[in-house]
Amino acid sequence: MVNILIQMFSYPFLVRAVIVGLLVSLCAALLGVSLVLKRYSMIGDGLSHVGFGTLAIATAMNVAPLTISIPVCVMAAFLLLRISENSKIKGDAAIAIISTSSLAIGVVAISMTTGMNTDVCNYLFGSILSMSHADVKLSVTLSILVLGMFILLYNKVFAVTFDENFAKATGIKTDIYNMLIAFLTAITIVLGMRMMGALLISSLIIFPALTSMRFCKQFKTVTICSAIISIICFFLGVVGSYVYATPTGASVVIVNIGAFVLFWFGNLVRMKVNGVKSINGIEKRGIK
């Protein structure tokens, strides 16, 4: 195992990918808990499709992808939030409209500039080779920004996540904090999409949160557990991808699936054991 890690980190592109991937996984896991509890988890899928469209347009324009993808995805996140709250079009329908439209625009942009025979797998499923030095610097800076804002505003995020009406009654400007969550999510999606792909990046948001909820019941412990699970699963996925020559994004998702199944099974065993204990306790109290 040590030899494998030494070989892996002898490649600069793998070092860049692991650094960015771990930071993005951490950001996605922290935001994912709030998104899942607020039933906004599919916003990540919608924004990833928007990212695909903007990435294709940036490639067609021969400009740095992140400089276009980040502002467009942020605006799309605000639009999705606004449509979900103030329109007759519900959240799932709004996400479907925006995501499919973005995919269509991206495919047309690619076909018009490079031809219909272009392989779009790198766009859809990610490529670990796509991280340049400039991308790494920008990704690390923005990831630290996301982590810092989440930590500083943790109490407000907690209040908005669990009881938005009560938070509003206490004077918290819930609209601003909902937009902030959408803003941070959009940045995280764009940063991770280059490596995970448009179709797989939302898994970094959903799986760690759902996995940690199998065992943990408090928001703080769920958040911490989700962050730990996300980091471990990403690292194991990258190692597995290197060893077995499999796509990085898909390998990370498979490891997350394995963790979810393991935690789900463990939770079933724990519930069964606790059920037996409670029954025994009732019987003992009845005897007494």
List the structure tokens of 31: 């935001």
214-261 pLDDT, tens digit each: 888 888 999 999 999 999 999 999 999 889 988 888 899 999 999 999
Phi and psi at residue 65, in whole multiples of 5°? Answer: -60, -40
Region 78-93: mean pLDDT is 68
Q: Which residue has the higher pLDDT, 115 or 122?
A: 122
Task: Tell me what pLDDT residue 105 has.
Answer: 85
Containing domain of residue 233, as a range?
A: 2-287
Contact indicator for 59, 110 with CB cutoff of 8 Å: yes
**211 pLDDT above the threshold of 90:** yes
Task: Tell me what pLDDT residue 171 has.
Answer: 86
189-209 pLDDT, tens digit each: 888 887 787 778 888 999 999
Task: Tell me what pLDDT residue 114 has.
Answer: 61
Region 72-91: mean pLDDT is 74
What is the rounded radius of gyration, in angstroms, for the C-alpha atoms of the chain?
21
Residue 109: which of 71, 72, 60 has the closest Cα?
60
Counting the structural domains of the chain, the total is 1
Task: Tell me what pLDDT residue 212 has.
Answer: 94
Average pLDDT for the chain: 82
Task: Tell me what pLDDT residue 122 has.
Answer: 67
Region 265-281: mean pLDDT is 69
Confidence of residue 118 (pLDDT cuts 50, 70, 90): low
Q: pTM of the predicted model, to two decimals?
A: 0.84
Share of the chain above pLDDT 90, in %: 24
**276 pLDDT above the threshold of 50:** no
| Minimum mean pLDDT range among 49-58, 170-179, 207-216 | 49-58
> What CATH number does residue 223 fall under?
1.10.3470.10
**281 pLDDT above the threshold of 60:** no
**285 pLDDT above the threshold of 70:** no
Q: Which residue has the higher pLDDT, 172 or 120?
A: 172
Contact indicator for 142, 26 with CB cutoff of 8 Å: no
